[in-house]
């Protein structure tokens, strides 16, 4: 539970200190029920059988990770609040975010409704509260996370989980009768901007409104104190106002010239603060105080100089960020939100795309502090609903985002849709975008706008590309389509067609599963090695093109998407860090490329358990590739104390063919006085399996795949498929003139090791294993990957000439996309090894994996 936060003036010791606004979290001890309950808003309702939760909280942290049909509906929260409630004070409930259709009740009466899951909102509850030193008040909150066509994102969209609940902090706020306006779209009510900034001087404009809820007019002073990062007063501005009862009175303060300001930038995120007070003129009492960050910077974007910050070109390089976390859903603490921003910054990024919705206040606070330029957007994703209600909700969402985050110097771009034409174009969609573009500039004429498009020519044909200041393209050449080189071709063609249009790569990425590795990686195999190739290629192509003002990786984290059925069902695994925030190897490639600090990293932390076969009968080791990521000029690698050579680092990478021995291998990487160490556990299979003395010999085949696959629970490593050679193992009789493999990354039922069953070998005559004599357990692993029907694929299977499956029909057994394992035991004699034969009856035989275990 957070402690109460009291905002008090500490700068001027001679000023009278009085109670101003009081902000206190009320996150603790809520009762919760995940269902719609009649009369749950009533003060006398009995909630003793409900669960007890603390906020932040989501009701989908578990079920959204277990299947497509996670709970989307109504949940109720109730809290008995015992606190001092004064007759002469004003009170609000402030929610940093609840998803998404929210009704708030106090003592049985509705005080407000908010639609939209990602913005803060505030309700005045003064007249609903019981007063007294230990007043008892019952708060009830009804939250609905059903996809609602009237609320963005629309029901068509959302390639991310729609976590329900009060998943950010909630505050009870106490005010004096005269205070800064608190009903201004969830904002603080005081706005700070910098009309003029240069290296030599700057000016500050501070404006807002004062709300007088007292019975009488009052003469007040507005005092603005600008302090630097060390707390030294830079400027003090005082003006006088008379605030009429029942009215909002506007005020504006101009600082005049501030000489030689310290500028805010990613390299030097210098922050001033602006402390704005309402002081009662007669008594000197401080009635209210707001504290805001202030950063002096100026920026622009064009195709000739790119993105300019403080008069200097800067390439925006960073990542997109979703807000969920393994085991927590979207109910993150402020510390976890801040940790994400620190990780992004430590990677070497100078930019973040906060996608696809406004996020917790701690996110932008940390961006201000650490120096990440931010693009923030509202959740209009993939499609719209062409109704008045949806359009109005979008306008409100955009206004809330801008007003709530107006004062953050890190924010330089506002966005208002992503890949919107996936759902198709309509005139209504075009009009909405024109309206939102105009609204952005009306609300904030000082920042740029950006839109994120996907691979459709309609964005340009329909004029959407002409609307924002910056056009973003989400590109996946070499992943979902085309080749890696086609990415650069697209960028060049787009720049040729629109030479005056600033372009940013708003998304790019490839999936990666730490269980999948390949020595010959290829597109859409989900191997860690292909992700490394992908990012190295994209980053180089981006950096080579001055007209590309920047880029953001999709995504910083692996994140939850219940409907995704790729190698990790329920997870979009394009992250450069895992769901639990452990960095993947690729994170350190980017760190080497983007930071000035020395980086020396053995890129095998994601692959510390390996298997391989020696290259000849005389060798007792197996060579496999190991990558090195570094920004140092030369590196040397030692394996078990022996040098395997020095190499020049090219494009932040060096590649070694490492002779792994059976057992533990200690890899030491050295460059000057820098060192990195990694331990790899390796299983060496002999060139001739018949010579193996291993009493627990395991040979496992990832049929139809070029990837090693590790089953982490059973500690089995499946090797990439291969053709048979004498003394070894592999497939026989594959007709390479025909399609002989299938790769269908969709959810597979009845297994937790989906990748093994998402690929398959087709049409083989047999698999042969020249294993030594002994007793073996044989697992034959099947999955029908194609849409089919009974009778379309039927075959027999024999092991060492004994038929074990007759007229085997996978679809008849379990339909498609269902794992099926048949286990047999066999005695191998006379050096004959094991042969598994497949005989087609109808269609082609299929196999996903074979595992032999010596007993």
The active-site residue, picked from 419, 507, 566, 784, is 419
Residue-wise burial string across 174-204, b where 16 or more C-beta atoms lie within 10 A, e elsewhere: bbbbbbbbbebbbbbbbbbbbeebeeeebbb
Residues 281 and 320 in one domain: no
- Give the residue from 64, 40, 58, 31 showing the smallest Cα distance to 117: 58
For the stretch 431-476, pLDDT in tens is: 999 999 999 999 999 999 999 999 999 999 999 999 999 999 999 9
- CA–CA separation, 119 vs 403, rounded Å? 10
pLDDT band at 2 (very low <50, low <70, confident <90, very high): very low
With a cut of 50, say whether residue 395 has pLDDT above it.
yes
Cα 56 to Cα 47, 172, 497, 808, distances in angstroms: 20, 15, 48, 52
In a domain, 247, yes or no: yes
What DSSP designation does 481 have?
Answer: B
Residues 388 and 511 in one domain: yes
Residues 47 and 162 in one domain: yes
Residues 626 and 500 in one domain: no
Q: At which of 499, 521, 549 does a domain end?
A: 549
For the stretch 715-738, pLDDT in tens is: 999 999 999 999 999 999 998 888
> 702: domain CATH number?
2.60.120.430
Section 303-330 average pLDDT: 96
With a cut of 90, say whether residue 347 has pLDDT above it.
yes
In a domain, 555, yes or no: no
Overall number of domains in the chain = 5
> 664: domain CATH number?
2.60.40.10
pLDDT band at 14 (very low <50, low <70, confident <90, very high): very low
Q: At which of 131, 146, 177 does a domain end?
A: 177
In a domain, 299, yes or no: no
Q: Is the pTM of this model over 0.85?
A: yes
Residues 259 and 319 in one domain: no
> 524: domain CATH number?
3.20.20.80
Section 589-609 average pLDDT: 97
Section 391-401 average pLDDT: 98
In a domain, 707, yes or no: yes
In a domain, 116, yes or no: yes
Residues 339 and 486 in one domain: yes
Residues 148 and 16 in one domain: yes
- Give the residue from 736, 792, 725, 802 showing the smallest Cα distance to 764: 736
Section 27-33 average pLDDT: 98
Residues 27 and 159 in one domain: yes
For the stretch 473-495, pLDDT in tens is: 999 999 999 999 999 999 999 99
Q: Return the pLDDT at 20.
A: 82
Contact 270, 264 (CB under 8 A): yes
In a domain, 596, yes or no: no
Token representation of residue 437:
């573009």
Residues 36 and 168 in one domain: yes
For the stretch 783-796, pLDDT in tens is: 999 887 889 999 99
Q: Return the pLDDT at 157.
A: 58
Residues 213 and 146 in one domain: no
Q: Return the pLDDT at 4.
A: 41
Q: Rounded mean pLDDT of the chain?
A: 95
Largest Cα–Cα separation, the chain: 107
For the stretch 670-698, pLDDT in tens is: 999 999 999 999 999 999 999 999 999 99
Residues 279 and 341 in one domain: no
The alpha carbon of residue 145 and the mean position of all alpha carbons in its chain are separated, in whole angstroms, by 20
In a domain, 819, yes or no: yes
For the stretch 187-230, pLDDT in tens is: 999 999 999 999 999 999 999 999 999 999 999 999 999 999 99
Q: Give the structural domain span for 200.
A: 190-294
Known catalytic residue at 419: yes
For the stretch 119-163, pLDDT in tens is: 999 999 999 999 999 999 999 999 999 999 999 997 655 689 999
In a domain, 598, yes or no: no
Residue percentage of the chain with pLDDT more than 90: 93
Residues 513 and 499 in one domain: yes
């Amino acid at each position: 539970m957070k402690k109460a936060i009291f905002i008090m003036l500490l700068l001027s010791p001679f000023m009278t200190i009085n109670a101003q606004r009081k902000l206190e979290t009320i996150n603790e001890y809520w009762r919760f029920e995940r269902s719609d309950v009649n009369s749950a808003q009533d003060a006398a309702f009995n909630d003793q059988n409900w669960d007890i939760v603390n906020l932040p909280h989501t009701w989908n942290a578990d079920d959204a990770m277990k299947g497509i049909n996670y709970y989307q509906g109504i949940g109720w929260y109730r809290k008995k609040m015992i606190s001092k409630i004064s007759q002469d004070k004003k009170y609000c409930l402030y929610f940093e975010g609840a998803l998404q259709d929210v009704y708030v009740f106090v003592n049985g009466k509705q005080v407000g409704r908010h639609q939209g899951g990602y913005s803060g909102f505030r309700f005045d509850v003064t007249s609903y509260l019981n007063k007294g030193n230990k007043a008892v008040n019952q708060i009830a909150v009804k939250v609905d996370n059903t996809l609602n066509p009237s609320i963005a994102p629309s029901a068509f969209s959302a390639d991310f989980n729609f976590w329900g609940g009060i998943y950010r902090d909630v505050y009870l706020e106490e005010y004096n009768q005269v205070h800064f306006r608190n009903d201004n779209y969830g904002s603080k009510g005081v706005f700070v901007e910098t009309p003029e900034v240069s290296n030599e001087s700057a000016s500050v404009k501070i404006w807002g409104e004062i709300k007088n809820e007292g019975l009488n007019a009052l003469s007040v002073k507005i005092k603005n104190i600008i302090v630097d990062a060390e707390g030294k007063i830079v400027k003090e501005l005082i003006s006088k106002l008379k605030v009429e009862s029942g009215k909002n009175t506007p005020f504006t303060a101009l600082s005049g010239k501030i000489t030689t300001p310290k500028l805010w930038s990613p390299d030097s995120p210098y922050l001033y603060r602006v402390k704005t007070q309402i002081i009662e003129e007669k008594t000197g009492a401080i009635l209210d105080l707001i504290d805001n960050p202030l950063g002096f910077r100026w920026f622009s974007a064009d195709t000739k100089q790119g993105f300019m910050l403080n008069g200097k070109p800067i390439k925006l390089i960073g990542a997109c960020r979703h807000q969920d976390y393994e085991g927590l859903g979207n109910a993150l603490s402020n510390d976890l939100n801040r940790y994400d921003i620190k990780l992004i910054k430590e990677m070497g990024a100078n930019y973040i795309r906060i996608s696809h919705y406004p996020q917790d206040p701690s996110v932008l606070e940390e961006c201000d502090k650490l120096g990440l330029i931010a693009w923030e957007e509202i959740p209009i994703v993939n499609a719209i609903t062409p109704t008045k209600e949806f359009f109005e909700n979008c306008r409100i969402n955009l206004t809330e985002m801008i007003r709530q985050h107006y004062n953050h110097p890190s924010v330089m771009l506002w966005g208002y849709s992503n890949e919107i034409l996936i759902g198709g174009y309509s005139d209504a969609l075009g009009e909405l975008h024109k309206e939102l573009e105009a609204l952005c500039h009306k609300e904030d004429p000082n920042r740029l706008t950006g839109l994120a498009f996907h691979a459709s020519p309609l964005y340009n044909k329909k004029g959407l590309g002409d609307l924002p200041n910056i056009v973003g393209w989400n590109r996946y050449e070499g992943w979902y389509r085309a080749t890696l080189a086609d990415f650069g071709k697209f960028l060049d063609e787009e720049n040729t067609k629109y030479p005056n249009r600033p372009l940013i790569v708003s998304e790019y990425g490839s999936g990666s599963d730490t269980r999948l590795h390949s020595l010959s990686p290829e597109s859409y195999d989900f191997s860690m090695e292909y992700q490394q190739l992908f990012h190295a290629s994209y980053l180089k192509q981006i950096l080579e093109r001055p007209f590309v003002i920047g880029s953001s990786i999709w995504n910083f984290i692996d994140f939850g998407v219940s409907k995704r059925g790729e190698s990790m069902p329920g997870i979009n695994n394009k992250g450069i860090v895992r769901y639990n925030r452990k960095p993947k190897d690729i994170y350190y490639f980017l760190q080497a490329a983007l930071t000035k600090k020395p980086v020396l990293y053995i890129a095998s932390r994601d692959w510390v358990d390996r298997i391989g076969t020696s290259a000849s009968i005389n060798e007792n080791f197996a060579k496999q590739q190991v990558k090195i990521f570094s920004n140092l000029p030369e590196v040397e690698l030692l394996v078990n104390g022996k040098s395997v050579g020095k190499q020049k680092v090219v494009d932040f990478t060096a590649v070694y063919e490492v002779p792994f021995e059976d057992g533990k291998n200690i890899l030491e990487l050295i460059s000057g006085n820098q060192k990195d160490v990694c331990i790899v556990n390796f299983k060496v299979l002999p060139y001739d399996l018949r010579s193996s003395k291993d009493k627990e010999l395991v040979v496992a085949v990832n049929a139809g795949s070029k990837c090693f696959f590790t089953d982490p629970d059973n500690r089995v490593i499946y090797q990439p498929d291969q053709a048979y050679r004498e003394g070894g193992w592999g497939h026989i009789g594959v007709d390479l003139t025909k399609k002989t493999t299938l790769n269908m990354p969709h959810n597979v039922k009845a297994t937790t090791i989906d990748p093994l069953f998402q690929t398959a070998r087709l049409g083989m005559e047999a698999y042969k294993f020249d294993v030594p004599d002994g007793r073996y357990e044989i697992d034959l692993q099947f999955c029908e990957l194609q849409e089919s029907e009974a009778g379309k694929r039927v075959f027999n299977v024999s092991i060492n000439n004994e038929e074990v499956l007759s007229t085997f029909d996978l679809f008849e057994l379990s339909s498609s996309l269902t794992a099926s394992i048949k286990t047999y035991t066999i005695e191998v004699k006379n050096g004959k090894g094991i042969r598994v034969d497949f005989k087609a009856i109808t269609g082609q035989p299929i196999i996903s994996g074979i595992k032999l275990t010596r007993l």
